[in-house]
Chains A and B, each alone.
Chain A
């Protein structure tokens, strides 16, 4: 159906309804179309008038649809009227209507009313993200930064996650505004991004830059740059934070890996207590290793080659410089088969320590354990993303630690297509080793903020290579 262009009389509405295939949902469909076509508000009003006269009442969902149309066109007085009607008619409203009301009013001179409605919502439920964001936007648009940050803090306290959009807005509207409190809040946002390993996009980065440079008396100077592989900032020569975990983080992570990944709800799911114990004594007697290799994963690097030959090449490649190697595998590798030749396996066992798990055990868990147990210098080799193991960890903090550790310690082997050699792509993913940690960081008089180009596709395991460097003069 096409919504009419002009207000209609009752009879005309009646006729339209009769022509419609399912008259009982006529007004809903009609209003939906009006919202889609952004029809003049008078047309909707005439429909409501017709309904009111006909039924003596207008259903809630129809009112909400009308409200949507009003909000869409920014009719503030209409929104207020609808709100008045709803308030008397219903004890409370549901989140959809509240969202609309707050969104509609926050864009107008009546924005303070949106705040009162927000208070009302809080009595019944946790307000949605969009409710908070509308109010924060309205407050900051009217330079009430204190209020905006109060709302923002309240939002975080209630575990409502803000969008980057609203964070950017807070930076935009704080530009040039004085106040130590305010600065603290904005630095707080940057630390929030650090804690959650969120990277700002290009436009957001610009907002941050402009705000920094606008701090009265701050003398901040920002530069876009690429950090050297060594972790040194070419602009200010500052050395970025080490990618290594602290002692405490490290022991915390290994403990969690043993508890959540290896044991989990039931040790028998991934291994068995006997096997794990055997593995533990095996590792303890031979510590520390330099490189731990996921034998089965590595053996599949070249699909044309025999699996044990692949593994042999990799071990040979890594065995230089007296590195102590540990290869993890499964028992079936010891059976002489077309893919696993006994002689080659014997040859390999001279160069590296081997541990063979049961065929139905998970060798990845052992890989993680052996690497963590060997110490911070130890690296591990696999192409696996280890996502399922990360998912076993129970809290976000530990997951972030895991990712950080993984970035610094995973080696990915790749085979060149035509050549015979196996190349190393040290570290993960396909990038030189990150000796520095890729998060927002500060020393007080410097800030380093990694950012991503919006257009560049970024996977969760990739980290941005571009940085924003601030120093105080």
Chain B
């Protein structure tokens, strides 16, 4: 048996076996029960050969050996790091540790990062940059794929060489733009004014200003595309303010050609006071109808750190009438703050202007914020809502009671 084993081992070593296996000759070569004899001898093989034994610290050797050259290189470098370089280094280590950190970071961003007042602020800022980077990369990938597909389609089209004939005239976007601009120009003469109050810069962080401006850009574009646009006024607009710089960043050269009125005057100087209505969620008055003779003011502010009553204070100071959207009257509110984004406001106001239909207008309130429209008496709906919440959250009755007590303390201060 031993000699047979030796022979087999030799065969294995001389790599006949893989060869045989490749060519499907196993069966012919080993007509005997292969599994029994071969596996037995292989097992023995493993245990008796010392070179196969695991060296558990080998990784250390590898790690250290691979470094010798690198170390000699880095020695010459100055060991003291400038604060910027140190920050960059720290970021790199965080990235290696698998934290949400951007791969590339500009000098400016690095400085912003270092100016963050606390650890959590730093983390948040990096996370924001990281997500931005991810979005950008995904966007680029999608664009590339799209281009490829288009090229492919073009290839095929040129092969078949067939041009489609259409009886419709092709309306290019530039033509559309002309039409829109015509309407916007008309609104500048005859349209109802809508004021954006640009005096909240001090109240906001840089990122909030950026968000505000992009929301205004969205609102402006949807206004331009509407059938009967507002005549948009930017009031209290300071030259070279943060708002201004952000606008230029977003609009570029189009900023000078916008069909809107920009002024550093206050709305009270531009319009008669009794025609102005300041729209704010904090207002005790609720808007009943959209008045075509009034001039509505929207505060250009994003407040992430809920600053209650800032815009109400502004209206109070100037002695203006205020109004809030009748959200509670038409919607069964579930979660979220009652302040809406500027573009949502614009959609709602445009719809009101065209249709005077509250239900249609309030479609633009984000769906996550409300459960549905009020079509039954409110009390009944509240009951069902409570029931749903109780079931959904698995909360006992006491829990709901507590919740009620919590909101109760707020309630009795209101009325």
List chain A positions with a Cβ less than 8 A from chain B: 7, 9, 28, 42, 45-46, 48-49, 51-53, 56-61, 64, 81, 84-85, 88-94, 96-97, 124-125, 265-270, 272, 296-297, 299-300, 332, 359-360, 383-384
Contacts and interface: CB of A to CB of B under 8 A. Distances in A.
B86 A52 contact: no
B208 to A, nearest CB: 15
A90 B67 contact: no
Contacts of A93: 93
A429 to B, nearest CB: 14
A375 to B, nearest CB: 27
Interface residues of B, number: 37
B48 interface: no
Contacts of A92: 86, 89-90, 93
Interface of B: 52, 54-60, 62-64, 66-67, 71, 74, 81, 86, 89-90, 93-94, 96-98, 284, 308-310, 312-314, 316-317, 409, 412-413, 415
Contacts of B415: 332
A338 to B, nearest CB: 12
A46 to B, nearest CB: 6
Contacts of A270: 309
A82 B209 CA distance: 47
Determine chain A's interface SS by DSSP, over half rule.
helix
B97 A269 contact: no
Contacts of A359: 284
Given A269-B309, A269-B313, A297-B412, A60 B55 contact: no
A61 B96 contact: yes
B63 A58 contact: yes
A64 B97 contact: yes
Contacts of B90: 92, 94, 124-125
B97 A268 contact: no
B63 A89 contact: yes
A45 B66 contact: no
A372 B89 CA distance: 54
Nearest to B316: A268
Nearest to A361: B316
A59 B92 CA distance: 13
Nearest to B91: A94
Contacts of A91: 74, 81, 89
A84 to B, nearest CB: 8
B59 A45 contact: yes
Contacts of B317: 266, 268, 272
Nearest to A301: B412
Given A56-B62, A91-B89, A268-B316, A46 B310 contact: no
Contact of B97 (A49, A61, A125): A61
Q: Closest 6 A-B residue pairs measured CB to CB?
A: A268-B313, A60-B96, A52-B59, A52-B62, A94-B93, A45-B56
27 contacts: A49-B54, A49-B55, A49-B56, A49-B58, A53-B58, A56-B62, A56-B66, A57-B62, A58-B59, A60-B93, A81-B60, A84-B64, A85-B60, A85-B63, A90-B93, A91-B89, A92-B86, A94-B96, A97-B97, A124-B86, A125-B90, A268-B317, A270-B309, A299-B412, A360-B312, A383-B409, A384-B413
Nearest to B86: A124
A96 B64 contact: no
Contacts of B98: 28, 61
Nearest to A96: B97
A270 B308 CA distance: 10
Nearest to A7: B54
Contacts of A52: 58-59, 62-63
A152 B67 CA distance: 38
A300 B59 contact: no
A53 B58 CA distance: 8
Contacts of A383: 409
Nearest to A384: B409
A49 B59 contact: yes
A89 B59 CA distance: 14
B67 A88 contact: yes
B62 A88 contact: no
B412 A46 contact: no
Given A85-B63, A85-B64, A297-B412, A7 B56 contact: yes
